[in-house]
């Protein structure tokens, strides 16, 4: 019997992906564990392995296809004793039964008969021209519909459900968004903060190319689309402010040289960035008010420093996470960063490698950038932009001297991190960088 190969869910939140490339063709024999395709998600390009032995009988989704729903049949595999010509493509009904699409999982959730009460904030004002449900009446909506409505600031009371027993489902939310129906004038703080940027980004003007300048067009990858959406969201919804501090690096560079000589036989070579990650993690431990996240009507104070490190890859930027960096030594940080950066550039990061993170670092010093301000990576509360270390004149005890100086700029979410907290964090960071022996204690 033919084996169906489905579009996999490569992360807990993935609903669709791009089938970037087939690494096999019809007629090829594959074994369990063989890499057969590359799937591009909004975070990275990941490999898909065959889970069975057999022959590729039919490829049903061409490479380069965008927005392939999780659960869709993308190929058929003939078993070892099966003739490829006998493999039949399932009918639409069979597909739906065997592998429900992301949109269809909504109906399955509805059978749980979960109910949600209208929020007090969204009940204060009803959109005009739409009959609302009676005050206090319970509203039936699937979990997916609830989440999207919360993100988009929709008033569920103003919508009619087309699901079982009048339940509001995903298609009802999408129809309301298209028609502009159900937008609550007074959304809850959580809804306002959770509102995603695609709607705002979609309203931005789209400019065509200049007629008199040669150009070529390149379709955006899922990674670039996600970067555009998230950073637009960040600058639109997160009130940024910036603090810059200068750190002298001479002691750190000397200590790095000594440590690398001692580690020569271990294969570990410490970089300046490894020291910066360690100093950042220790500063967050010393100033926990900087290791926070704003969440509408509450704040999350994180008790561990998970540092997201920006890594440039072809076509975009990813931020793999060094987890528990405050409890790691410099050698462990160095090994972790090298492994994450290598897998990021090879497109082999797993979802758990880049999910989460409590604070970000973006280092452009290796490109000679003296100073810059980075955009906060939501929902984090801050990001540290690190510039190049360079020889600059400094004054010591009233006399002019030369030192290696590095400028670091902290971008803060003013809802979560006040100026005094940011300054306290930078002072702690500076003390570790300028006296690196304290990082080893």
Which of 216, 237, 240, 414 is the catalytic position?
Answer: 414
Question: How far apart (Å, rounded) are the C-alpha atoms in residues 232 and 19?
Answer: 26
Is the pLDDT assigned to residue 222 strictly greater than 90?
no
Could you tell me which residue, 318 or 169, shows the higher pLDDT? 318
Q: Dump the DSSP string for 295-363.
A: ETTEEEE-SS--EEE-EEETTEEE--EETTGGG--HHHHHHHHHHHHHHHHTT---HHHHS--SEEEEE
Distance CA 341, CA 418 (A): 32
> Each residue of 281-299: pLDDT tens digit?
999 999 999 999 999 999 9
DSSP string, 77-122: EE-TTS-GGG--PPPHHHHHHHS--TTTHHHHHHTT--EEPPPTTT
The values of phi and psi at residue 337, to 5°, are -65, -45
With cut-offs at 50, 70 and 90, classify the pLDDT of residue 142. confident
Confidence of residue 313 (pLDDT cuts 50, 70, 90): confident
For the chain, which residues make up each domain, given as ranges? 3-102, 109-202, 240-440
Q: What residues form DSSP beta bridges with 242?
A: 411
- Please give the DSSP secondary-structure letter assigned to residue 163: S
pLDDT in tens, 54-88: 888 888 898 888 888 888 889 888 887 777 777 77
| Pairing status of strand 240-248 against strand 307-309 | unpaired
| Pick from 223-232, 301-310, 315-324, 334-343: least confident | 223-232
User: How would you class 257 by CB atoms within 10 Å of its CB: exposed for 0-12, middle for 13-18, buried for 19 or more?
Assistant: exposed
Buried b (16+ CB within 10 A) or exposed e, 4-14: bbbbbebbeeb
pLDDT-wise least confident of 91-95, 326-330, 392-396: 91-95
Is 414 a catalytic site residue?
Answer: yes
What is the rounded CA–CA span in Å between residue 55 and residue 27?
Answer: 6
User: Which carries the bigger pLDDT value, residue 107 or residue 270?
Assistant: 270
| Mean pLDDT to the nearest integer, 223-247 | 92
Please tell me the class of the 240-440 domain: alpha beta
CATH, domain range 3-102: 2.40.50.100
Closest by CA position to 118, among listed 154, 74, 66: 154
Res 432: pLDDT: 97
Question: Could you give the CA distance from residue 427 to residue 287 in angstroms, rounded to a whole number?
Answer: 10
pLDDT score at 378: 92
Q: In this predicted structure, what is the pLDDT of residue 205?
A: 66
Residue 345 pLDDT greater than 90, yes or no: no
Q: pLDDT value at position 126?
A: 41
What number of other Cβ atoms are within 10 A of residue 373's Cβ?
A: 15
Q: Span 303-328, mean pLDDT?
A: 92
Average pLDDT in the chain: 82
Tell me which residue has tokens 């306290």: 424
Q: For residue 221, name the pLDDT band (cuts at 50, 70, 90).
A: confident
Please state whether beta strands 65-69 and 35-40 pair in parallel, antiparallel, or not at all (unpaired).
unpaired
Residue 116 has pLDDT above 90, yes or no: no
pTM: 0.63
Which of 425, 411, 408, 401 is closest to 381 using CA atoms?
411
Report the alpha-carbon distance of residue 106 to residue 144 in Å, rounded.
Answer: 6
- For tokens 């294969």, name the residue: 267
Reported confidence tier of residue 252, pLDDT bands at 50, 70, 90? very high
Region 122-146: mean pLDDT is 56
Q: Identify the residue with better confidence: 101 or 40.
A: 40
And the tokens for 285?
A: 């431990």
The pLDDT confidence band at residue 183, using thresholds 50, 70 and 90, is: low
Contact 38, 45 (CB under 8 A): yes
């Amino acid at each position: 019997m033919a084996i169906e190969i489905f579009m996999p869910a490569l992360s807990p939140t993935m609903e669709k992906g791009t089938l970037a490339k087939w690494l096999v063709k019809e007629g090829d024999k594959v074994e369990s564990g063989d890499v057969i395709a590359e799937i591009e998600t909004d975070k990275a390009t990941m490999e898909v392995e065959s889970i069975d032995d057999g022959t590729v009988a039919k490829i049903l989704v061409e490479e380069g296809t965008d927005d392939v729903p999780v659960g869709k049949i993308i190929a058929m595999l003939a078993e070892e004793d099966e003739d490829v010509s006998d493999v039949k493509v399932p009918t639409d009904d069979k597909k739906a039964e065997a592998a429900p699409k992301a949109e269809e999982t909504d109906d399955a959730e509805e059978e749980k008969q979960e109910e949600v009460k209208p929020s007090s904030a969204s009940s204060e004002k009803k959109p005009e021209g739409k009959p609302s449900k009676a005050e206090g009446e319970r509203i039936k909506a699937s979990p997916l519909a609830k989440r999207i409505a919360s993100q988009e600031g929709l008033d569920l009371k103003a919508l009619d459900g087309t699901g079982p027993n009048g339940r509001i489902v995903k298609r009802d939310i999408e129809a309301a968004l298209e028609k502009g129906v159900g937008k609550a004038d007074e959304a809850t703080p959580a809804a306002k903060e959770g509102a995603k940027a695609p709607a705002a980004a979609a309203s931005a003007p789209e400019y065509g190319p200049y007629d008199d300048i040669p150009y070529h067009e390149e379709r955006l990858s899922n990674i670039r689309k996600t970067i555009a959406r998230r950073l637009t969201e960040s600058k639109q919804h997160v009130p940024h402010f910036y603090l810059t501090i200068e750190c002298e690096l001479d002691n750190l560079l000397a200590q790095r040289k000594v440590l690398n000589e001692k580690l020569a036989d271990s294969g570990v070579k410490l970089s300046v960035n490894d020291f910066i990650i360690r100093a950042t993690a220790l500063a967050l431990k010393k100033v926990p008010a900087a290791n926070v996240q704003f969440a509408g009507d509450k704040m999350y104070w994180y008790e561990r420093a998970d540092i997201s490190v920006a890594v440039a890859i072809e076509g975009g930027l990813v931020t793999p996470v060094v987890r528990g960096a405050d409890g790691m030594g410099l050698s462990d940080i160095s090994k972790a960063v090298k492994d994450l950066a290598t897998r990021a550039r090879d497109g082999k990061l797993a979802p758990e490698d880049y999910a989460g993170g409590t604070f970000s670092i973006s280092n452009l010093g290796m490109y000679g950038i003296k100073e810059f301000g980075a955009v906060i990576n939501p929902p984090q509360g801050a990001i540290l932009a690190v510039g190049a270390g360079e020889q600059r004149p400094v004054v010591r005890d009233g006399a002019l001297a030369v030192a290696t100086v590095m400028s670091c700029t902290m971008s803060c979410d003013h809802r979560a991190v006040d100026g005094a907290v940011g300054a306290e964090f930078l002072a702690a960071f500076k003390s570790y960088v300028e006296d690196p022996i304290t990082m080893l204690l």
